[in-house]
């Protein structure tokens, strides 16, 4: 069965370190997204990609970057982690962009000390 997986599921890091969260999907979807989930804010879009070599900034992109070298993967990098980036991060993919169903990964809980 097709799926979308994230790793690591839990990570603790220190302020100033670089962190990369991996996202891998086997749906063969062109559209991939990264969201962060914080209490009282719902899901907020960080970056998204509509295909290989395509990346776009979302609502809360400062301090994050992504790259898309193939269809299956969209890694999220925190260049210099800050305590404000402590959150749960969800990767998602879709066939129809944001006008169709988003398939979410299991989430990655990141704690920045």
The contact set with another protein (CB under 8 A) reads 40-45, 59, 90, 97-99, 101-102, 104-107
- Closer Cβ to another protein, 14 or 101, answer by number: 101
To another protein, the closest distance from the beta carbon of 58 in angstroms equals 8
Secondary structure of the chain as H, E, C letters: CCCEEEECCEEEECCCCCEEEEEEECCCCCEEEEEEEECCCEEEEEEEEEECCEEEECCCCCCEEECCCCCCECCEEECCCCHHHCEEEEEEEECCHHHCCCEECCCEEEEEC
To another protein, the closest distance from the beta carbon of 14 in angstroms equals 26
To another protein, the closest distance from the beta carbon of 71 in angstroms equals 19
């Amino acid at each position: 069965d097709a799926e979308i997986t994230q790793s690591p599921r839990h990570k603790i890091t220190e302020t100033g370190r670089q962190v990369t969260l991996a996202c891998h999907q086997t749906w063969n979807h062109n559209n991939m997204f990264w969201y962060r989930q914080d209490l009282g804010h719902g899901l907020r879009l960080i970056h998204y990609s509509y295909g290989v070599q395509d990346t776009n900034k979302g609502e809360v992109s400062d301090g994050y970057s992504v790259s898309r070298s193939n269809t299956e993967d969209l890694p999220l990098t925190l260049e210099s982690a800050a305590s404000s980036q402590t959150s749960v991060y969800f990767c998602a993919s879709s066939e129809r962009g944001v006008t169709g169903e988003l398939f979410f990964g299991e989430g990655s809980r990141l704690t920045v000390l």
